[in-house]
Amino acid sequence: QVQLVESGGGLVQAGGSLRLSCAASGRTFGRTAMGWFRQAPGKEREFVATINWSGAGTFYADSVKGRFTISRDNAKNTVYLQMNSLKPEDAAVYYCAGTTRVDLTLERNLYNYWGQGTQVTVSS
């Protein structure tokens, strides 16, 4: 069983930055891919970024490419999402997700574990 706890959300002005963290428990953390998703009010949960088991591979949604960076520290069982140049349309609840797969994983239904989410609000 894997438990995920996100932190780091908050209110930021457009153009600002936030760093989200996801602390994971479970023996398999360092051997599986991880992802970040987000959900804005009235919208479906959407893919943001994924990282493979080692951290050597990453993939991003077009909407965040060049602004967001996903990384992981397997020694600390933690995944990060550095968000720069934030826009009002980035405002959402951000969820950390875990899968049993080792490679980059974009599909929401391939993730088995989800955190409770952390709110990101971007003022214009």
How many angstroms separate the CA atoms of 72 and 7, rounded? 14
pLDDT of residue 83: 98
Give percent above pLDDT 70 in the chain: 100
Residue 34, CB half-sphere, CA atoms under 13 Å: how many? 33
pLDDT over 90 at 30, yes or no: no
pLDDT in tens, 82-112: 999 999 999 999 999 999 999 999 999 999 9
